[in-house]
Amino acid sequence: MGYSQEYVENMTRLHQALRDNPRTWIQLVKGPDQLCEKYPNSGEYHCEHHDIYERDAIILEKIGLKIGQILYWKDIEANIQKYALPSDIHTVCETCSWRSYGVCEEGIQDILAGKGLKEVK
Ligand code: SF4
């Protein structure tokens, strides 16, 4: 799922890279990232909307991480396992249009169960 074919392909590629190599380095940035780079030109560019910054700040604090940190994806997963709950999606992401599909909640559930990132089919 995503905003365009190009967005979906980019997201799938990044997701797959993390699945294949959990020791991939991640730098936590404030604002648009490598997923947002492929947000289509059509429609409102919401990646710099204040709601998104707030949501990012809430979830980062919740999982004990800070902007600017550089760490392995597996360490981010470890913090998710320690501090996040599937129900956080309902509160932190209350206004997100993707929330009702349930995939983000399932994603957290899988990480808590030690299954890592979901396979994209
Ligand atoms: S519901 Fe999913 S897509 Fe929407 S903000 Fe939360 S994690 Fe991101």
Question: Model confidence over 37-72: pLDDT tens digits?
Answer: 999 877 777 888 899 999 999 999 999 999 999 999
Residue 93 in any domain: the answer is: yes
Tally of domains in the chain:
1
Atom of ligand 1 nearest to the CA of 103: 2
Ligand 1 site residues (CB inside 6 A) read 55, 89, 93, 96, 98-99, 104
Cβ distance 105 to 89 under 8 Å?
A: yes
Element (H, E) at 53: helix 50-62
Q: Which domain covers residue 75, as residue numbers? A: 5-112
d(CA 5, CA 114): 30
Residue 103 in any domain: the answer is: yes
Query: Rounded to the nearest whole angstrom, what is the distance from the C-alpha of residue 70 to the centroid of ligand 1?
Result: 22
Residue 120 in any domain: the answer is: no
pLDDT score recorded for residue 101: 95
d(CA 21, CA 39): 25
Query: Rounded to the nearest whole angstrom, what is the distance from the C-alpha of residue 32 to the centroid of ligand 1?
Result: 14
Beta pairing partners, 72: 25
pLDDT score recorded for residue 82: 98
Residue 118 in any domain: the answer is: no
Residue 98 in any domain: the answer is: yes
Residue 76 in any domain: the answer is: yes
Torsion angle defined by CA atoms of residues 86, 14, 37 and 45, in that order, rounded to the nearest 10 degrees: -20
d(CA 10, CA 40): 12
What percentage of residues in the chain have a pLDDT greater than 90? 80
- Name residues whose C-beta falls within 8 Å of residue 49's C-beta, 6 or more positions apart in sequence: none
